[in-house]
Structure 1
Amino acid sequence: MAVSVEAPTLRMLQSPHVELFSQGAEARIYIYTPPPITTTWLDDSKDVAGSPRSIAGGSAADQLIIKHRFPKKYRHPSLSANLTASRTSLEARALLRAARDGINVPALRFVDETQGVIGLQRIRGRTVRRCLGAGDEAEEEEESESTHSISEHVLSDVASEALDEWTQSQVMILIGRQLALLHAADIIHGDLTTSNMIYVEAEPGMLGRVVLIDFGLTSQSSSAEDRAVDLYVLERAFASTHAGSEHLFTQILDTYFTETDLIRKGKGKGLKSAEILRTLEKVRLRGRKRSMVG
């Protein structure tokens, strides 16, 4: 008789060192804090084993974020398994490609496509949403892939005071550069919001870096349309979350288009910023028409 063996990644979720943080319609999010490592020291004078001592592990810096796309009972089992594996694989591959191309993303620690489990580095910082003075993100009425995903509460736990205006401006430039690199790598984020960007501060007097997170809705595309839609999603997020932030988003776009042309010149190929801008204007027009129609 066959013996059912539970996958190691699922057993890991049952560990006392793993804490369930939140659950959405598509995934559960856990925080893993590794236990201290206990070792036995030798007493040089007697050449015998001494008492065990805890020497490493257990710190916040070692924590991981674990995302588990659990099976959906309303789907056919084979369909659910295929979708889970496909989405998990796509997210993991996007993170690896992004890291390879110099984009700031959480390091991928492990992936189990079959079980829909991804382990990610925990980023110590604060969301751009908080940097711009907005409060915690409220739950959306319509749950989606991103609902309760790798949220600002999980990945960031630094003081939430807004940054000064000059630093905010510099952070917008950092965002524009990261998005230009992301799209140049043919990676579409799919859910660009200020909650899905973490600002990691550097030493006093030094500018930090922006880390892009939550690639649960990512896709691969080189089209101007997909890039423009990605930017439009972020623009709408700014408009709905950060009142009077038009000048900040303009800084993101200005940097994005400048960097896009620089990257294109360096590679000798790729879309021109003017083409993406024209497409963005068309996407905006469609968005306004939908708003008017309701």
Structure 2
Amino acid sequence: PILLKYRFKKHYRHESLDTSLTRSRVAGEARALLRCLRSGVNVPGIRMVDAADGVLGIEWIEGKSVRKLLPGGAEEEEEELENEQENLDEEEDPLREYDISVDTLMSLIGIELAKMHLADVIHGDLTTSNMMLRHPTSFTSLELNTPTELVLIDFGLSYQSSLIEDKAVDLYVLERAFASTHPDSEPMFAKVLTAYGERIGPKEWPAVKRRLDDVRLRGRKRSMVG
């Protein structure tokens, strides 16, 4: 099966401008996915591209978003309450069926982000909703020591850049997403950064880390000013 992403027409924009923007963004997302695929980043495969009509066909990923698998991140709270008794075990440890720990999951996230940044692709909208764990029943690779793999999705706001600033901002956006969605997430994100630093290497990591600290400081100042 495939997933079709369709960019609907924005009627508040001039028709020719809307057509041009739609074509550009669909083509841009396809290019980012292709660049990631060629660099060994786990992203959905491309099945078809129709930039003129704003349609992108990508591989269907059988699994769940990382947001649903981490504490505090369930996306359908009311539905969970209705099924609380039926799914009690899964809610206590939703990663059980994927046979990995939270620490391993954080390492997988850090590794994929580093691979993406080494390919000079900036995601632009990193959240735990834009990451999926492939279900073990649909994962057949024997190259990894884990029964699943992490897949980065939704590259609609992505772009190409080799700038340390852009990579640091990408990480900061994810850090803020962790903080706002998952309680007590500091240790989890620290493990993401550890795996990221190990994979991106000693040549780039110190510079990215310093810039991330700068971005954090700017973010705190903006919060104080309001």
TM more than 0.5: yes
Larger Rg: 1
Amino acid at match of 2:109: I
Question: 1:236 and 2:190 equivalent?
Answer: no
Question: 1:135 and 2:74 equivalent?
Answer: yes
1:33-60 superposed Cα distances (whole Å, 9 cap, x missing partner): xxxxxxxxxxxxxxxxxxxxxxxxxxxx
The residue number in structure 1 matching 2:84 is none
**Of residues 118, 122, 125 in structure 1, which corresponds to 2:56?**
118
- Aligned residue runs from structure 1 range 180-219, under 5 A: 180-202=114-136, 206-219=146-159
Bigger RCO (CA 8 Å, 6+ sep): 2
The residue number in structure 2 matching 1:257 is 197
Distance (Å, rounded) in 1 between the aligned partners of 2:215 and 2:68: 28
Question: 1:279 and 2:217 equivalent?
Answer: no
> Sequence identity of aligned pairs in percent?
50
Q: Give the 3-state SS of the residue equivalent to 1:65 in structure 2.
A: strand
- Aligned residue runs from structure 1 range 23-62, under 5 A: none
- Aligned residue runs from structure 1 range 28-177, under 5 A: 63-133=1-71, 134-136=73-75, 162-163=94-95, 167-177=101-111
Distance (Å, rounded) in 2 between the aligned partners of 1:209 and 1:166: 10
CA distance 1:259–1:206, shift in 2 (3 Å): closer
1:45-94 superposed Cα distances (whole Å, 9 cap, x missing partner): xxxxxxxxxxxxxxxxxx22111112211111111111111111100000
Is contact 1:189–1:217 with CA below 8 Å preserved after alignment? yes
Higher helix share: 2
Is contact 2:100–2:146 with CA below 8 Å preserved after alignment? no
User: Which of structure 1's runs of 4+ aligned residues deviate more than 6 A?
Assistant: none
Q: Give the 3-state SS of the residue equivalent to 1:119 in structure 2.
A: strand
In the TM superposition, residue 207 of structure 1 has moved relative to its aligned partner by 3.2
Structure 1 residue runs of 5 or longer lacking an equivalent are 1-62, 139-158, 263-270
Between stretches 64-73 and 274-283, larger displacement belongs to: 64-73
Higher strand share: 1
Structure 2 residue runs of 5 or longer lacking an equivalent are 78-89, 140-144
Q: What's the Cα RMSD here? A: 2.1
Distance (Å, rounded) in 2 between the aligned partners of 1:212 and 1:137: 21
Q: Give the 3-state SS of the residue equivalent to 1:199 in structure 2.
A: strand
Q: Give the 3-state SS of the residue equivalent to 2:40 in structure 1.
A: coil
Amino acid at match of 1:228: A
Distance (Å, rounded) in 1 between the aligned partners of 2:146 and 2:192: 20
In the TM superposition, residue 286 of structure 1 has moved relative to its aligned partner by 0.8
Compute the TM-score of the two structures, normalised by the length of structure 1.
0.66
Distance (Å, rounded) in 1 between the aligned partners of 2:103 and 2:17: 46
Is contact 1:131–1:168 with CA below 8 Å preserved after alignment? no
Amino acid at match of 1:122: W
Q: Give the 3-state SS of the residue equivalent to 1:115 in structure 2.
A: coil
In the TM superposition, residue 274 of structure 1 has moved relative to its aligned partner by 0.5
Is contact 2:25–2:156 with CA below 8 Å preserved after alignment? yes
In the TM superposition, residue 163 of structure 1 has moved relative to its aligned partner by 2.1
Q: Give the 3-state SS of the residue equivalent to 2:124 in structure 1.
A: coil
Between stretches 226-235 and 123-132, larger displacement belongs to: 123-132
